[in-house]
Amino acid sequence: MKFYNINEKSDFDVICKSVGVSVAGINLMREKSSLSFVYIKDIKSPAANILKQDAISVGAELVTHKDTIFGLDTSSNALLIGTDAQLKKLSKKEKLQDFGLKNLAKFLEISFNKPENPKIMGVLNINNDSFNASSRIDIDNALLCINKMIDDGADYIDIGGVSSRPGSVYVGRDEEFRRIKDVILQINAHGLDKKVKFSLDSFDEYCLEFALNHGFKMINDISANENLALLAKKYDCELCMMHMQNDPATMQINPHYDDLLAEISDFFEHKVLKARDLGAKHIVIDVGIGFGKTAEQNLLLIKHLKHFLKFQCDLLVGASRKSLINHYFKSEVHERLSGSLYLHLKAFENGASIIRTHDVSEHKQMFALHSAYQKANLW
């Protein structure tokens, strides 16, 4: 016999096939191949004790406060640990329990499916004040820059007529439309909208409808106006809604979220439900990296991005060259490619399906190597 300590993130299916496991066996074993962590806040001691016993009975575990065992009528936090198979069994048990455990059962039934490959969204700005000067275009070089991104392998190209950097002031509909009109007409006239999906980074309905009338396929709305779902329904396009504090002109960092994940999750709970009620079929969520959040909060959102898969929506992350990187490693905007690549790789690993970046070619290369690495197996 020979023994190998192999990477625990190796392709489970490939390993099973090398062992000779049946297809049915692979499907069964896959649910046992990795652990999930479910953090539970404010659980009453009686509920925690019931849940702990139920968890142990299916082979899972509940990590509780040291005083929970005494059964006092107090609340604390807990960590539920189990495989997909164990949590599936546990959810059936908790459906029969009181103390709010029925709500946990519903949560455990959600599929937190991560994408197999990311889609890359290139960023181009038709203005003179976006924070990354290299992303700025005008009518003279627009087609050249767009075609370059298409050749580099972009899946989306996001066009913006106004800056949303912190402190920026909206220039108004007329000025925004003046900036974007000719570029949109050129994109449509040259059939570029047939080669790649275009999105308009705007919250103005007039500008958005003009773009959608000329082949654009996504509304990229930083204001998360759920009423734009009516426009998304009319054109059967994607609607991306982002979280931020206030608006770019009045945006302030909130260093004291009582519960970062809960507050942003509640925000999208309302927005997604309303947008779906209004007829939007293709909703994308953007947690808003850099928009009114501290550097640490931004990292926490990327690290725990999987939680937002609960909405069964594509997740978009755009950390490209943002000041978050400068906070941890002093650098100017043009020096932040490495940091951008790292953050976007982690975002993808944690559930992001669309990566918004100024550097399309570099990201396509990085994800090509990541995909090849994932597929590299000994057997």
Among residues 67, 87, 108, which one ends one of the domains?
A: 108
User: How high is the pLDDT of residue 16?
Assistant: 80
User: How high is the pLDDT of residue 134?
Assistant: 78
69 and 126: one domain? no
- For residue 15, tell me if it sits in a domain: no
Among residues 57, 84, 108, which one ends one of the domains?
A: 108
137 and 37: one domain? no
Q: What count of other Cβ atoms lies within 10 Å of the Cβ of residue 259?
A: 11
CA distances from 327 to 84, 294, 312, 341 (A): 37, 9, 32, 16
Query: What are the backbone angles phi and psi of residue 218, rounded to the nearest 5°?
Result: -145, 140
Q: In the Cβ-directed half-sphere of 360, how many Cα atoms lie within 13 Å?
A: 22
Name residue 345's amino acid: L
User: How high is the pLDDT of residue 306?
Assistant: 96
360 and 306: one domain? yes
- For residue 24, tell me if it sits in a domain: no
204 and 89: one domain? no
Question: What does pTM read for this prediction?
Answer: 0.92
190 and 94: one domain? no
252 and 363: one domain? yes
Pairing of strands 354-357, 197-201: unpaired
CATH number of 103's domain: 3.30.70
User: How high is the pLDDT of residue 251?
Assistant: 66
pLDDT in tens, the chain (379 residues): 766 776 777 788 887 887 888 888 888 778 777 889 999 999 999 999 999 999 999 999 999 999 998 878 789 999 999 999 999 999 999 999 999 999 999 999 999 999 999 999 999 999 877 778 778 888 889 999 999 999 999 999 999 999 887 777 888 999 999 999 999 999 999 999 999 999 999 999 999 999 999 999 999 999 999 999 999 999 999 999 999 877 776 666 777 778 999 999 999 999 999 999 999 999 999 999 999 899 999 999 999 999 999 999 999 999 999 999 999 999 999 999 999 999 999 999 999 999 999 999 999 999 999 999 998 987 7
152 and 89: one domain? no
Question: Catalytic residue numbers?
Answer: 322, 356
Decide: 306 and 324 in contact? Cβ < 8 Å: no
- For residue 128, tell me if it sits in a domain: yes
User: How high is the pLDDT of residue 229?
Assistant: 98
- For residue 20, tell me if it sits in a domain: no
User: How high is the pLDDT of residue 28?
Assistant: 79
DSSP letters for 48-77? HHHHHHHHHHTT-EEE--TTGGG--S-EEE
Could you tell me where the beta strands, DSSP code E, fall in the chain? 35-44, 61-63, 75-83, 119-125, 156-160, 197-201, 218-221, 238-242, 282-286, 314-317, 354-357
DSSP at 23: H
- For residue 86, tell me if it sits in a domain: yes
- For residue 21, tell me if it sits in a domain: no
Among residues 50, 81, 108, which one ends one of the domains?
A: 108
Q: Which of 195, 197, 247, 196 is nearest to 221 (CA)?
A: 247
- For residue 214, tell me if it sits in a domain: yes
CA atoms of 344 and 371, how far apart (whole Å): 14
210 and 83: one domain? no
180 and 238: one domain? yes
150 and 245: one domain? yes
User: How high is the pLDDT of residue 153?
Assistant: 98
CA atoms of 193 and 200, how far apart (whole Å): 12
207 and 74: one domain? no
Range of 73's domain?
Answer: 31-108
In the chain, the number of structural domains is 2
- For residue 9, tell me if it sits in a domain: no
User: How high is the pLDDT of residue 133?
Assistant: 78
CA atoms of 244 and 256, how far apart (whole Å): 15
CA atoms of 12 and 34, how far apart (whole Å): 10
User: How high is the pLDDT of residue 250?
Assistant: 67
CATH number of 263's domain: 3.20.20.20
Q: What count of other Cβ atoms lies within 10 Å of the Cβ of residue 344?
A: 26
Distance linking the first and last C-alpha atoms of the chain:
16
Q: Which of 194, 152, 192 is nearest to 366 (CA)?
A: 152
Q: In the Cβ-directed half-sphere of 187, how many Cα atoms lie within 13 Å?
A: 31
256 and 364: one domain? yes
